[in-house]
Structure 1
Amino acid sequence: MTSATRPYQSYVYAYPHKTAYRPLAAHHAGRPLLRDLWAAERKDALSLYLHIPFCEVRCGFCNLFTRIGAPDELTTRYLDALDRQASAVRDALGDDGPVRFSAAAFGGGTPTFLTAGELERLCDIAEKRMGADLRSVPLSVETSPSTATADRLAVLADRGTTRISIGVQSFVDAEARAAVRPQHRSEVEAALGRIRDARIPVLNIDLIYGIDGQTEKTWRTSLDAALAWRPEELYLYPLYVRPLTGLGRQGTAAGTADGPDAAWDEQRLRLYRAGREHLLGQGYEQVSMRMFRRADAPHAGPDDYACQTDGMIGLGCGARSYTSSLHYSFDYAVEMREIRGIIDGFTATEDFSRAEVGRYVDGDEARRRHVLQSLLQAGGLRSEEYRERFGSDPRADFTDELDLVAGRGWLDTSAPPGLLRLSPEGLAHSDALGPELFSPAVRAAMAAYEQK
Structure 2
Amino acid sequence: MTTTPPAPRPYQSYVYAYPHKTAYRPLGERRPSLRTLWAGEPKDALSLYLHIPFCEVRCGFCNLFTRIGAPGELTTRYLDALERQAEAVRDALGDEEPVRFAAAAFGGGTPTYLTADELDRLCDIAEKRMGADLAAVPLSVETSPSTATADRLAVLAARGATRLSIGVQSFVAEEAKAAVRPQRGSDVAAALGRIRDSAVPVLNIDLIYGIGGQTARTWRYSLDAALDWRPEELYLYPLYVRPLTGLDRRVRESDREWDARRLALYRQGRDHLLDRGYEQVSMRMFRRTDAPGAGEARGPDDYACQTDGMIGLGCGARSYTSRLHYSFDYAVGASEVRGIIDDYTRTEDFGHAEVGFAMTGDESRRRHLLQSLLQAGGLATEEYRSRFGTAPEDDFGPELARFAALGWLDRDAPAGLLRLGPEGLAHSDALGPELFSPAVRAGMAAYEPK
Shorter-chain TM-score range: over 0.9
Conserved? CA contact 2:139–2:301, under 8 Å: no
Q: Write the mapping of 1:171-210 to structure 2, written as runs, cut at 5 A.
A: 171-210=171-210
Would you say 1:15 and 2:18 are equivalent positions? Answer: yes
1:288 corresponds, among 282, 305, 313, to 282
Conserved? CA contact 1:48–1:104, under 8 Å: yes
CA distance in 1, matches of 2:215, 2:8: 24
What does the per-residue CA deviation read over 1:207-229, in whole Å, with 9 as the maximum and x for residues that have no partner?
A: 00000000000000000000000
| 1:48 Cα deviation from its structure 2 partner | 0.3
| 1:185 Cα deviation from its structure 2 partner | 1.4
2:255 match: 261
Query: TM-score, normalised to structure 1's length?
Result: 0.96
2:244 match: 244
Change (3 A) 1:51 1:198: same
Q: Which runs of 5+ in 1 are unaligned?
A: 255-259
1:164 match: 164
Change (3 A) 1:415 1:220: same
CA distance in 1, matches of 2:14, 2:402: 20
Change (3 A) 1:45 1:378: same
| 1:449 Cα deviation from its structure 2 partner | 0.7
| 1:416 Cα deviation from its structure 2 partner | 1.1
CA distance in 2, matches of 1:314, 1:350: 17
2:394 match: 396
Change (3 A) 1:432 1:305: farther
| 1:177 Cα deviation from its structure 2 partner | 0.2
What does the per-residue CA deviation read over 1:69-126, in whole Å, with 9 as the maximum and x for residues that have no partner?
A: 0001100000000000000000000011111111000000000000000000000000
CA distance in 2, matches of 1:210, 1:265: 9
CA distance in 1, matches of 2:67, 2:307: 27
2:154 match: 154
Query: TM-score, normalised to structure 2's length?
Result: 0.97
CA distance in 1, matches of 2:305, 2:225: 29
CA distance in 2, matches of 1:169, 1:436: 28
CA distance in 1, matches of 2:42, 2:315: 24
Q: Which runs of 5+ in 2 are unaligned?
A: none
Would you say 1:5 and 2:3 are equivalent positions? Answer: no
What does the per-residue CA deviation read over 1:255-313, in whole Å, with 9 as the maximum and x for residues that have no partner?
A: xxxxx511110110000000000000000000000000000100295354745753100
What does the per-residue CA deviation read over 1:119-171, in whole Å, with 9 as the maximum and x for residues that have no partner?
A: 00000000000000100110000000000000000000000000000000000
2:69 match: 69
CA distance in 1, matches of 2:305, 2:183: 30
Change (3 A) 1:160 1:308: farther
CA distance in 2, matches of 1:310, 1:37: 15
Conserved? CA contact 1:202–1:298, under 8 Å: yes
Q: Write the mapping of 1:431-446 to structure 2, written as runs, cut at 5 A.
A: 431-446=429-444
CA distance in 2, matches of 1:134, 1:361: 30
SS in 2 for 1:50: strand
CA distance in 1, matches of 2:7, 2:399: 17
2:35 match: 35
Amino acid at match of 1:22: R
Conserved? CA contact 2:103–2:139, under 8 Å: yes
Amino acid at match of 1:396: D
Conserved? CA contact 2:329–2:340, under 8 Å: yes
CA distance in 1, matches of 2:418, 2:90: 39
Change (3 A) 1:450 1:310: farther
SS in 1 for 2:271: helix
CA distance in 2, matches of 1:417, 1:132: 39
Conserved? CA contact 2:66–2:337, under 8 Å: yes
2:292 corresponds, among 293, 298, 318, to 298
What does the per-residue CA deviation read over 1:233-276, in whole Å, with 9 as the maximum and x for residues that have no partner?
A: 0000000000010001x42233xxxxx51111011000000000
Amino acid at match of 1:99: V
Q: Write the mapping of 1:206-355 to structure 2, written as runs, cut at 5 A.
A: 206-248=206-248, 250-254=249-253, 261-299=255-293, 302=300, 304=302, 306-307=304-305, 309-355=307-353
CA distance in 2, matches of 1:58, 1:305: 28
CA distance in 2, matches of 1:211, 1:311: 36
CA distance in 2, matches of 1:386, 1:52: 35
Amino acid at match of 1:282: R
Amino acid at match of 2:280: Q
Amino acid at match of 2:272: H
Conserved? CA contact 1:179–1:211, under 8 Å: yes
1:257 match: none
| 1:25 Cα deviation from its structure 2 partner | 1.1
Conserved? CA contact 2:88–2:351, under 8 Å: yes
Conserved? CA contact 1:13–1:305, under 8 Å: no
Amino acid at match of 1:15: Y
Change (3 A) 1:309 1:226: farther
CA distance in 2, matches of 1:86, 1:264: 44
Change (3 A) 1:6 1:305: farther
Q: Write the mapping of 1:18-97 to structure 2, written as runs, cut at 5 A.
A: 18-25=21-28, 30-97=30-97
CA RMSD of aligned residues (A): 1.3
CA distance in 2, matches of 1:208, 1:306: 26
SS in 1 for 2:88: helix
2:145 match: 145
| 1:381 Cα deviation from its structure 2 partner | 1.3
CA distance in 1, matches of 2:252, 2:216: 17
Conserved? CA contact 2:306–2:368, under 8 Å: no
Q: Percent identity?
A: 79
Change (3 A) 1:307 1:362: closer
SS in 2 for 1:167: strand
| 1:44 Cα deviation from its structure 2 partner | 1.3
